Homo-oligomer: A and B are copies of this chain.
Amino acid sequence: MKSKADIRMRGFLKRTPVKTLLALIKEHSQSLSSEEILTVEASGRILTQEIISTVNVPNFDRSAMDGYALHAESTFGASTYNPLMFSIVGQVTPGESFEAEVKSGEALSIMTGGPLPKGTNAVLMAENAELVGDQIQVIDAVSPGKHVGLIGEDIKKNQSILKNGRFLRPQDIGVLASIGLKSVKVVRKPEVELLITGNELLKHGEQAGGVKIIDSNSVMLSPLIKRDGGLLKAVHHLPDDRDLLRKHLSESSADLIIVTGGTSVGIEDHGPILLDELGELLVHGITMRPAAPTGFGLISGKSGGGAKKVFLLPGNPVSCLSAYDYFVGRTLRLMGGRSAEWPYRNKLVKLATKISSQIGRTEYVRLRIENERAFFIAAGGASILSSTTQADAFLLTEEESEGFAEGDEVRVWLYDE
C-alpha cells in the first residue's frame, strides 16, 4: 500500500483545511432551477418568483362584527334622550348578499364576514343595539366605516405580496391560496443518491452475523437528507468493486451523490480514484477529526447540464455523521435555495471538562449537557455511533484553537429535541 503513489496517497499528504472545503462548497452550490408545484404543498419551499396579487381580498366590503349594517349618517343625533329606531329589513350572513338597497331608517342584521349591502356604510355592534320587536333602538351615533372591513383590506390588487427567494411559511401559502394561486414556482429539491460501499456491510433488516456489520449510515442519513430539503432518489448497497462504483457514479442522474466507505487510502478505497478519473477530485482529506478522509468532487454530464456533486464520506458512522452535517447538509440547503445555517439550536454552556484540540485541526466533540454544564464524552472513536446517542450536543473546535479549559463558556449545537 505504502508504495502505491496513486491519487489516494496524494490526497492525504496535504489535507485541505475545513475552511477551504467550505469555500469550495459555497462556490459550487448555487440554487437549482425552478419547478412549479401546487401552492398547498409549497410550505417550506423557496419561492422563485415575485407574487403580485391580481385580486382584492376580500373583494367586497364586509362586516367585522356581528351586528346591524346601516347608513351611519342616519344614526347621527342618536342618544339616550333621543333614541332612534331602525327597522330590520333582513339579514345577511357570510357568503350571501342582500340585493335590495337599505334605506335611511332601515338596518340589516349582519354577521361577521357578511358583505355590506348597498346603502350601508357602518355596522352597529349587536351588544350596542336594543332589539324591540322587529326594530332596533340606537342610542349612540355610529361613524361611517365603523366595524367595516373594506375591499382589499387584507390584500390589494397589484400589491406585491411575497418576494423572490422567500422561504414559504404556512401562513404564506395561506395567503397565496387566498388570492387564488393554484401553483407556484419554487426551487426544485436536490436529488440525492446514496452509494453505501463495503463488503462488510449488510443492509438493515438482514440477519447480522459472522464478520459483517449492519449498515447504519443509510438509515441515519435518510432523515438528515430530508431535513436539509434533499430528495433521496436511490440507496444502493455496493460491494467494494471499482467497476460497479464507476458505473453508478457515471450513470447516476442525481444532483448530488454521497458515497460512504472507500474514501481513504487503502486498496479498497475506490472513491477518490474514480472521482479523479471521471471528473474532478477537488478535495481528499481534510483537517477535521473524525472525518479526515472526506472527499469532494464533481462529475460533469448530468442530464440538463451542470456537474454532479460527489461527497466521499468515511464509512465510520461518527465520521459519516459529522462530515454529512458539516458539509453535505450545507450543500443541499444551498442547492435548495435555503440558508446555509445549521438547523440545530445552539446555546452557551460552561464546560465541566477540559477539551484538547490539535492546532490546525477541527475536532467534532460530542457532549453531554447536565444542569447547563457540558461534559466531554470520552467513549468515542469514529466507529462508536452510540457515542452520538449518549450525547446531547456537539461542538466543533476552531483550527487555530488548542481547545478549551474547564469552566470556559462555549457555544454548543443541540442534537434535535
Chain A residues proximal to chain B, CB less than 8 Å: 1-3, 39-40, 43-44, 55, 57-60, 64, 66, 93-97, 109, 111-115, 126-127, 129, 131, 149, 153-155, 161-162, 167, 169-180, 182, 198-201, 204-205, 207-217, 219-224, 227, 240, 264-268, 315-317, 321, 338-339, 345, 381, 383-386, 388-389, 415-417
B93–A199 touching, CB < 8 Å: yes
Residue of B nearest to A209 (CB): B59
A95–B315 touching, CB < 8 Å: no
- With A64-B383, A213-B57 already in contact, the answer to whether A177 and B3 are too (CB < 8 A) is no
B385–A211 touching, CB < 8 Å: no
CB-defined contacts of A209 to chain B, threshold 8 Å? 59
Query: Contacts A2-B126, A113-B200 given; 12 further ones with Cβ under 8 A?
Result: A43-B223, A59-B208, A94-B268, A95-B198, A153-B381, A155-B386, A161-B386, A170-B222, A170-B224, A170-B321, A178-B317, A339-B417
Residue of A2, A153, A388 most packed against chain B (CB within 10 A): A2
A115–B389 touching, CB < 8 Å: no
B175–A389 touching, CB < 8 Å: yes
Residue of B nearest to A267 (CB): B111
Out of B3, B113, B338, B385, name the residue touching A174 (CB < 8 Å). Answer: B385
Residue of A111, A201, A213 most packed against chain B (CB within 10 A): A213
Residue of B nearest to A293 (CB): B112
How many chain copies does the complex carry? 2
B113–A381 touching, CB < 8 Å: no
Residue of B nearest to A391 (CB): B171
Residue of B nearest to A94 (CB): B200
CB-defined contacts of A129 to chain B, threshold 8 Å? 2
- With A111-B268, A180-B214 already in contact, the answer to whether A199 and B94 are too (CB < 8 A) is yes
Shortest distance from the beta carbon of A173 to any chain B beta carbon, whole Å: 5
A178 to B216, CA, bound (A): 5
Residue of B nearest to A43 (CB): B223
B153–A180 touching, CB < 8 Å: no
Out of B127, B222, B383, name the residue touching A154 (CB < 8 Å). Answer: B383
A158 to B383, CA, bound (A): 19
B315–A385 touching, CB < 8 Å: no
Residue of A172, A338, A415 most packed against chain B (CB within 10 A): A172
Shortest distance from the beta carbon of A61 to any chain B beta carbon, whole Å: 10
Q: List 24 A-B contacts (CB under 8 A).
A: A1-B66, A2-B126, A2-B127, A55-B208, A58-B213, A66-B266, A93-B267, A95-B199, A112-B264, A113-B383, A115-B211, A154-B383, A155-B386, A161-B389, A167-B417, A170-B221, A170-B416, A171-B220, A171-B385, A171-B389, A177-B215, A178-B213, A178-B214, A180-B207
A171 to B55, CA, bound (A): 48
A28 to B214, CA, bound (A): 42
Out of B172, B204, B338, B415, name the residue touching A40 (CB < 8 Å). Answer: B204
B211–A95 touching, CB < 8 Å: yes
Residue of B nearest to A46 (CB): B417
Out of B199, B389, B416, name the residue touching A96 (CB < 8 Å). Answer: B199
- With A153-B383, A219-B40, A386-B155 already in contact, the answer to whether A96 and B211 are too (CB < 8 A) is yes
- With A115-B211, A240-B93, A385-B154 already in contact, the answer to whether A219 and B174 are too (CB < 8 A) is yes
CB-defined contacts of A169 to chain B, threshold 8 Å? 389, 415-417
Residue of B nearest to A208 (CB): B180
A147 to B172, CA, bound (A): 55
A172 to B219, CA, bound (A): 9
